[in-house]
Amino acid sequence: MNEKDTIAIVKQALDDEISSLIHFRDELDPSVKDCIDLILKSKGKVIVTGVGKSGDIAKKISHTLSSTGTSAYFLHPTDASHGDSGIVGPEDVVLAIGKSGESEELNYILPTLRKIGAKIVGITANPKSKLASLSDIVIITPVLKEACPLDLAPTSSTTIALVLGDAIAVALMELKNFQANDFALYHPAGRLGKRLSLYLSDVMRKGERNASIPVDANLETILKEITEKGIGATGVVDSQSKLIGLITDYDIRKYLTKNTLLPTVTAKDMMNANPSSFRPEEKAYDVLIKMEGRERPISVAPVVDEKGQFVGMISLHDLLQKGL
């Protein structure tokens, strides 16, 4: 078999799945709206269940719902038959997925879940199936053809179920007015979550880690503070701890190349009296972009509060270490 034949097979499989998806969209079962309305009105959670490949899809749907503001759990039918049905409450909505709708393991647990009080939404391609008869709401997912050349292995059918789950999650997001900050709350460790939820106050060096010297500090004090704090700079403050300048390694070298080093030299003589600074309530990612986006990028900057108090120092290195 040559490369052209392989590519043709792949394209045919994609075409088969795409055709089934388009058909599903064009013939979308209006019961989808009933399902979404039911979930919106529910005071409980969403339980997603299925067997085999449908079970794998159910897991993904439950994760997507949970991460987008709808509390959801995956429940394996076999586990449910041996005690895990206790996770289901009377206010819950169950999404039961099965192409044929005749899976014994899945259908076996549905009467129990209904007795608990949960509402059942069956997602199946077979409107005459037992799953459909056991459901309060049925969403029919017709499949033109499985991408499998034998029309046996779940391919187009699982893709449709997956896309339907995504669409339900997206609809719920919009109807609940789920915003980017809400998304960040559920994804604190992810890059997007960090960009949305991490503030400068969470990253900056503060307290004993913050490099700070008085305006009359001599060169020895300046060098000692910069070296000990390891950030390559120090803030210069007045008697009220307000920031009045910044000294970096560059500022020291610049001063020494143009001036004679006298015993009387102080921080005031070397400092940059107008440094770029940031506020602790700014998003860390926004600060990273500002520091890197300048015509001459800066690697370190002071952080001041609304009263001008010097409260911390931030470096590009610290921001990048956070995975922003």
Report the C-alpha gap between 167 and 163 in whole angstroms: 6
Report the C-alpha gap between 43 and 37 in whole angstroms: 12
63 labeled binding residue: no
Contact criterion met (CB below 8 Å) for 82 and 37: no
Contact criterion met (CB below 8 Å) for 248 and 200: no
Contact criterion met (CB below 8 Å) for 133 and 150: no
- Between helix 156-175 and helix 53-67 the angle, nearest 10°, is 20
Residues 6+ apart with CB under 8 A from 69: 172, 173, 176, 178, 182, 186
CA distances from 195 to 91, 175, 287 (A): 35, 24, 10
Structure letter (DSSP) for residue 266: B
Report the C-alpha gap between 47 and 121 in whole angstroms: 10
139 three-class SS: strand
Report the C-alpha gap between 103 and 55 in whole angstroms: 11
- For residue 236, which phi and psi values (nearest 5 degrees)? -115, 125
Burial 97-131 (b: 16+ CB within 10 A, else e): bbbebebebbbebbeebbebebbbbbbbbbeebbb
Report the C-alpha gap between 205 and 195 in whole angstroms: 18
CA distances from 94 to 8, 33, 152, 171, 183 (A): 40, 15, 27, 17, 24
**Which residues are annotated as part of the binding site?**
76
**Which residues are annotated as part of the binding site for Zn(2+)?**
76
